[in-house]
Structure 1
Amino acid sequence: MFNLNASMRYWLYPFPTDMRKGFYTLSGLVTERMGQDVRSGDVFIFLNRHCTSMKALHMEHGGLVIYYMKLEKGNFALPPLDEKGKTHPFSWQKLMLMVQGIDAEKCHYKKRWKSA
């Protein structure tokens, strides 16, 4: 049932989030604080204060799904954030690097063709 892929748009919430929040309160953050529509099919990523837990909220065909990852050791490396308080577009590649524990800042990206 894992239905996330590179063709989706990802948004990182720039503030620490209480990981006790569920479907309705995370949906409220998406709507009120991020200015996005939770039903758009985009994926919304939330991290706790210590960057040891991550939740991804996504609307699938049957309803809302939360993917939750809690690290036993270490923490997620955050990408650089440009402006305080602004929702940041995020890529599938950066999400996969973050989940695998690879620092995206130290990665060197080769040139690739991207569709517009």
Structure 2
Amino acid sequence: MLQLTPQMRIYLAVQPVDFRCGIDGLARICRRTLDTDPFSGVLFVFRNRRGTALKILIYDGQGFWLCMKRFSKGKLSWWPDRTDPICHLTVSKLHILLWNGNPESVVIPADFREVA
């Protein structure tokens, strides 16, 4: 089972990717474009060119998980516009993004104490 916890590191790939890519193709993008080890346990979030779907890739120690969400109606309402290849997200902001919200416009209370 895949569980999102506050301790997770979440990297959002800013540039859209070809969604014909499977696990190996996305792991290659992690290595070459994002300069990150796909076996590190980081949760990677990718979007397609049209902004109608998201893919999540994560390695759990025994194998890769590849999850996809295609929006039934419309496109993503928010995506970072940056020159950096990676944008860091918190779990709460990922939840907002998965519901097609704008994580930057929502006020989320600060954690009482940082989770290591």
Which TM bucket (shorter chain)?
0.7 to 0.9
* Equivalent position of 2:13 in the other structure: 13
Deviations 1:7-46 (A, max 9, x none): 2100011111111100111000000000100110011110
**Structure 1 stretches (4+) deviating beyond 6 angstroms?**
none
Answer yes or no: is the 8 Å Cα contact 2:51–2:75 preserved in 1. yes
Q: CA–CA distance in 2 between the matches of 1:3 and 1:111?
A: 21
* Equivalent position of 2:109 in the other structure: 110
* Equivalent position of 1:96 in the other structure: 95
Deviations 1:70-111 (A, max 9, x none): 111022233444x31431111111110011222223312334
Q: Which runs of 5+ in 1 are unaligned?
A: none
Deviations 1:43-69 (A, max 9, x none): 111001121110011001321110111
Structure number having the greater helix percentage: 1
TM-score (norm 1): 0.87
More divergent stretch after superposition (57-66 vs 102-111): 102-111
2:23 pairs with 1:23: yes
Q: CA–CA distance in 1 between the matches of 2:84 and 2:111?
A: 31
Q: Which runs of 5+ in 2 are unaligned?
A: none
Answer yes or no: is the 8 Å Cα contact 1:97–1:103 preserved in 2. yes
RMSD of aligned Cα (Å): 1.7
Answer yes or no: is the 8 Å Cα contact 1:12–1:87 preserved in 2. yes
Q: CA–CA distance in 2 between the matches of 1:67 and 1:5?
A: 16
TM-score (norm 2): 0.87
Identity of aligned residues (%): 24
